[in-house]
Structure 1
Amino acid sequence: MQKETYFGVDVSALSYDEILADLKNRMQQDLKSTIIAVNPEKVIKAEQSNELRELINSATYQIPDGIGVLLASKLKGGRITSRVTGVDMMERLLGFAAKEGYRVFLYGAKEEVVSKARENIIAKYPGITIAGYENGYVQDPDQVINKINEAKADILFVAMGSPKQELWIREHMNKMGVKVFQGVGGSFDVFAGHVKRAPLFFRKLGLEWLYRLLKEPKRLKRQLALPRFLLKVLFSR
Structure 2
Amino acid sequence: MKEEILGVNVNTENYDELIPKVFANIDEGKKSLVVAINPEKLMKAKEDAELKALLNRAEFQIPDGIGVILASKLKKGQIRSRVTGIDMMDRIVQEAAKRGKRIFLYGAKPGVADAAAKRLQELHPDIQIAGVQHGYEKDTQVVLDTINKAQPDILFVAMGSPKQEQWIEQHRNQLHPILYQGVGGSFDVLAGNIKRAPVAFQKVGAEWLYRLLLEPSRIKRQMNLPKFLVEVYRKK
User: TM class by shorter-chain length?
Assistant: over 0.9
Letter of the 2:134 partner, please give it: N
Match of 1:7 in 2: 6
Please give the residue correspondences for 1:148-167 in structure 2 after superposition, counting only pairs within 5 Å.
148-167=147-166
Q: Is residue 81 from structure 1 mapped to residue 97 from structure 2 by the alignment?
A: no
Match of 2:114 in 1: 115
Question: CA–CA distance in 2 between the matches of 1:160 and 1:106?
Answer: 11
Match of 2:168 in 1: 169
Letter of the 1:69 partner, please give it: V
Residues 5, 72 of structure 2: 8 Å contact kept: no
Q: Deviations over 1:168-202 (max 9, x none)?
A: 00000001121110000000001101111111111
By how many angstroms is 1:139 displaced? Answer: 2.7
By how many angstroms is 1:118 displaced? Answer: 1.0
By how many angstroms is 1:212 displaced? Answer: 0.6
Normalising by the residue count of structure 2, what TM-score does the alignment of the two structures yield?
A: 0.98
Please give the residue correspondences for 1:128-207 in structure 2 after superposition, counting only pairs within 5 Å.
128-207=127-206
By how many angstroms is 1:203 displaced? Answer: 0.8
Residues 34, 58 of structure 2: 8 Å contact kept: yes
Residues 120, 190 of structure 2: 8 Å contact kept: yes
Question: CA–CA distance in 2 between the matches of 1:127 and 1:236?
Answer: 47
Question: CA–CA distance in 1 between the matches of 2:26 and 2:114?
Answer: 27
Identity over aligned pairs, percent: 53
Question: CA–CA distance in 2 between the matches of 1:50 and 1:120?
Answer: 38
Question: CA–CA distance in 2 between the matches of 1:94 and 1:111?
Answer: 22
Match of 1:95 in 2: 94
Question: How many residues end up aligned between the 2 structures?
Answer: 236
Q: Deviations over 1:99-151 (max 9, x none)?
A: 11000000000112111111111111112111000000013221111111111
Aligned partner of residue 111 in structure 2, secondary structure: helix
Match of 1:26 in 2: 25
Normalising by the residue count of structure 1, what TM-score does the alignment of the two structures yield?
A: 0.97
Residues 108, 136 of structure 2: 8 Å contact kept: yes
User: Where do 5+ consecutive residues of structure 2 fail to align?
Assistant: none
Moved over 3 A (4+): none
Match of 1:214 in 2: 213
Q: Deviations over 1:39-97 (max 9, x none)?
A: 11111110111110011000001111011000111111111110000011111111011
Match of 2:63 in 1: 64
Match of 1:44 in 2: 43
Superposed CA RMSD? 0.9
Residues 35, 61 of structure 2: 8 Å contact kept: yes
Letter of the 1:54 partner, please give it: A
